[in-house]
Structure formats: structure tokens, C-alpha cells
């Protein structure tokens, strides 16, 4: 019995803490044994004892594994991840966390489609403004030629 208590105490200490922070919510997750995310260089993983680490996470899914075998998935529209002293802090505009991979990935996919549409509209708007500015500059240049 004594061994079981010692083992349980060590198992509880085997993970690290994750702080999830967004504009509208904040969560503290204990007993995380691994985090898998993606930044501009590709996929990476963090475990307890990792050296200090800072990166920006790309739009996508991240995975958290707990010391009890459970898994959670995080849908992130980009974030800053900072790991130090066995604590991972993830700061983002918003996030969605859950254990249902299918539901989280569908929400992420829908969000990506919506963001791509907004981005496309934004790019079109910029192109129209650029054309209008170029036309105006061209007209100003022609007016100056006539004045000379």
C-alpha cells in the first residue's frame, strides 16, 4: 500500500501545467505530460523538463496528453507559446478545447474557411484601393504635364 501511494504521488508530479489565456477566458490545466503543436518550422513537442522555449503557433490543432491517458485538442487561430519552469503559457485571441477530435477539427475547418473568405475580401479591397491610388497618381501626373 505504501508503494502505491508513493507511485501515485510521483505520477501526479509527472506532468506540467498549461495556462490557456484568451481575450475572454483563462484556464489552468494540471498533469499535462505532452504538448504537440505547430509553428512556422513544423510540428514540435514539449514534455516536462524541456528547456525554456518561445514560439508562435500557427493556425491549427494542438494536442495535449494528460498523465491519466486522456487527450484534449486545442483549435488555435495562432498563438504565442512560452514554456519555462514546467509551465506552458499559451496566449491567443481565442481557442476551443475539447476531447472530441472530429468536432474540434470541424470547427477549425469552418473557421479556416470563414477566415479565408474574409482574407480574400480584404485582399480584393486592397487591390481596389491600390488601383484607385494609381489612377489618381496617373491623373495628377497628367495634370502636371498639361500645366508645364
Give tens-digit pLDDT for 16-33: 999 999 989 999 999 999
- Whether 14 has a pLDDT exceeding 80, the answer reads no
Identify the sign of the CA torsion 138, 139, 140, 146: positive
**Banded pLDDT at 2 (limits 50, 70, 90):** very low
Given this model, what pLDDT does residue 56 score?
A: 96
Which residues lie below 8 Å from residue 129, measured CB to CB, with a gap of 6+?
A: none
- CATH architecture, domain defined by 1-99: Sandwich (2.60)
Query: Cβ(23)–Cβ(93) under 8 Å?
Result: yes
Given this model, what pLDDT does residue 131 score?
A: 94
Alpha-carbon gap, residue 91 to 20, rounded angstroms: 6
Q: Which residue has the higher pLDDT, 136 or 7?
A: 136
Using a pLDDT cut of 70, give the percent of the chain over it.
88
DSSP class of 125: H
The domain segmentation of the chain, as residue ranges, is 1-99, 100-148
Which residue in the block uniquely carries the three cell numbers 474540434? 104
Given this model, what pLDDT does residue 11 score?
A: 43
pTM above 0.85, yes or no: no
Q: What is the pLDDT of residues 35-90, one digit of tens each?
A: 999 999 999 999 999 999 999 999 889 999 999 999 999 998 889 999 999 999 99
Alpha-carbon gap, residue 83 to 77, rounded angstroms: 19
Q: What is the pLDDT of residues 86-142, one digit of tens each?
A: 999 999 988 989 999 999 888 888 887 787 788 889 899 999 999 999 999 888 887
Amino acid at each position: 500500500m505504501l508503494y502505491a501511494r508513493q507511485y501515485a504521488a510521483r505520477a501526479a508530479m509527472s506532468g506540467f501545467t498549461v495556462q490557456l489565456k484568451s481575450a475572454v477566458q483563462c484556464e489552468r490545466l494540471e498533469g499535462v505530460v505532452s504538448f504537440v503543436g505547430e509553428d512556422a518550422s513544423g510540428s514540435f513537442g514539449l514534455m516536462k523538463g524541456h528547456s525554456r522555449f518561445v514560439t508562435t503557433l500557427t493556425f491549427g490543432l494542438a494536442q495535449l496528453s494528460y498523465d491519466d491517458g486522456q487527450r484534449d485538442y486545442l483549435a488555435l487561430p495562432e498563438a504565442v507559446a512560452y514554456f519555462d519552469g514546467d509551465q506552458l503559457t499559451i496566449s491567443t485571441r481565442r481557442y476551443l478545447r475539447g476531447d472530441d477530435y472530429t468536432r474540434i477539427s470541424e470547427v477549425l475547418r469552418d473557421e479556416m474557411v470563414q477566415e479565408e473568405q474574409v482574407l480574400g475580401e480584404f485582399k480584393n479591397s486592397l487591390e481596389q484601393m491600390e488601383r484607385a491610388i494609381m489612377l489618381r497618381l496617373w491623373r495628377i501626373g497628367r495634370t502636371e504635364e498639361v500645366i508645364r
